[in-house]
Structure 1
Amino acid sequence: MSAGPYNYSYIFKYIIIGDMGVGKSCLLHQFTEKKFMADCPHTIGVEFGTRIIEVAGQKIKLQIWDTAGQERFRAVTRSYYRGAAGALLVYDITRRSTYNHLSSWLSDARNLTNPNTVIFLIGNKSDLEAQRDVTYEEAKQFAEENELLFIEASAKTGDNVEDAFLETAKKIYQNIQDGSLDLNAAESGVQHKPLQPGRSQPQNTPNPTKEGCAC
């Protein structure tokens, strides 16, 4: 029986990116704590959260880096893109400016992560339908044109938050299974489970690597 911090098969590194105030930290908190932070302060630099989920019978630990959306922190947060297996690209459906900036964020993500990084577009604050400034259809079209997964969610009600994180993990896991994601590559964003005391290395399993410094 495995227990404690070793009770998972993989580690997936996620980053959450997007403009300031779109609800990145609130999405992270809702996913990891099942709570909504009404007065969520703006992130300075980066914040971090973890949660163990299950995909196809495999326990997977998500290491999630929540990055600041302010331009003055862009140089710092860009360093956290390296080695990300998943990127959650967030905009606010009630603020068109945050949607208009998606191309810039996507460009950073594509340039700074590996080619197999799974990018999931999230339209946050779906609970504020009366204040909607970006239609579902146009965001869906943007996602399709850029080959992104897409969902609208609400960090406040929790609607679709779980799905966004889980569907990203399912796609990463699928990429591992079909061989398109090389686990031996340092930039894959995926680590195998650390060896437990008294257990031998499984056959045909890449050696686990330590989480690299993201600074």
Structure 2
Amino acid sequence: MSTTSSYKAEDDYDYLFKLVLIGDSGVGKSNLLSRFTRNEFALESKSTIGVEFATRTLTVDAKVIKAQIWDTAGQERYRAITSAYYRGAVGALLVYDVTRHSTFESVERWLRELRDHTDPNIVIMLVGNKSDLRHLVAVSTEDGKTFAEKESLYFMETSALESTNVDNAFAEVLTQIYRVVSKKAMEAGENGSATTVPSKGEKIDVSKDVSAMKKPGCCST
């Protein structure tokens, strides 16, 4: 009995959004993921091997949002991230290490690759990680903000070690994705081409290929 109820609790959500973590090797992507989804941090730095993703559920505007977050799985070392990694992503955290300027210099290339493989409406958060290492900072907050403004990205500095802004960064991305989805659904409803509440199992077009899947079997309110 308890197994069934826990399964239902885990499976009970309104929207499923795929997020990707990108950035140079060693910037702390895996620790951001583990801190957000399991509240864990690994001091020993190991490269992720194989495709890795984790999930966490949040509530936004009384809707249950399940985030499926993909980690680059060490592929960034070989610059060989495949299009399958990006497929269906509606949000991204582009991570650099505030103590290593070279990782910030790579941000432009990562952003270009991301935009080449995803929909123009994808929500992107630029993340300056390892903000706890203040005495080693090589990239100023101002530099991060300036780049984010120039490229129309959201921006936040985080520390996976101290758990600073980690939840905020992911929550902000998920909230913004939900707003895009809601706005599109509302506009479609106003145009008379669809109802404001999506049908069960219906895909909601954020733009061309970006979609958020309304979970089949969930009750619309």
Fold match (TM-score > 0.5): yes
2: CA distance between counterparts of 1:100 and 1:82? 25
CA contact (8 A) 2:89 2:210 kept: yes
Q: Please, which of 51, 75, 79 is the counterpart of residue 46 of structure 1?
A: 51
Do 1:45 and 1:73's aligned partners in 2 also have CA atoms closer than 8 Å? no
Give the 3-state SS of the residue equivalent to 2:79 in structure 1: helix
- The separation in 2 between residues aligned to 1:6 and 1:46, in whole angstroms, is 22
TM-score (norm 1): 0.85
Instruction: Classify the secondary structure of the residue corresponding to 2:164.
Output: coil
Alignment partners' CA distance in 1, 2:75 and 2:103: 12
Which of residues 62, 70, 73 is equivalent to 2:67? Answer: 62
C-alpha distance in structure 1 between counterparts of 2:59 and 2:10, whole Å:
15
Alpha-carbon separation, structure 2, partners of 1:73 and 1:9: 37
If asked which structure has higher relative contact order (CA below 8 Å, sep 6+), I would say: 1
Equivalent residues in 2 for 1:146-157, closer than 5 Å: 146-157=151-162
SS of structure 2 residue aligned to 1:91: strand
Residue 26 of structure 2 aligns to a residue whose secondary structure is coil
**Bigger CA radius of gyration:** 2
Q: 2:116 aligns with which of 111, 119, 130?
A: 111
The Cα offsets for residues 84-124 of structure 1, whole Å up to 9 and x where unpaired, read as 01010000000000000000000011110111110100000
1:192 corresponds to 2:210: no
Structure 2 residue identity aligned to 1:193: K
1:58-99 deviation per Cα after TM superposition (whole angstroms, max 9, x unaligned): 111100100045545433444211110101000000000000
Distance in structure 2 (CA, Å) of the matches to 1:74 and 1:194: 37
Taking the aligned partners of 2:8 and 2:208, their CA distance within structure 1 comes to: 27
| CA distance in 2 between partners of 1:69 and 1:108 (Å) | 16
The whole-number CA distance in structure 2 between the counterparts of 1:29 and 1:71 is 18
Q: Where do residues 68-83 of structure 1 align in structure 2 (5 Å cutoff)?
A: 68=73, 70-71=75-76, 73-83=78-88
**Alignment size in residue pairs:** 199
User: What's the counterpart of residue 199 of structure 2?
Assistant: none
Partner of 1:167: 172
1:123 match: 128
Q: Deviations over 1:161-195 (max 9, x none)?
A: 00000000110011011118971478324211121
Range with greater deviation from structure 2 (182-191 or 14-23): 182-191
RMSD between aligned residues: 2.3
The reply to whether residue 17 of structure 1 matches residue 18 of structure 2 is no
**Runs of at least 5 residues in structure 1 that lack an aligned partner in the other structure:** 204-215
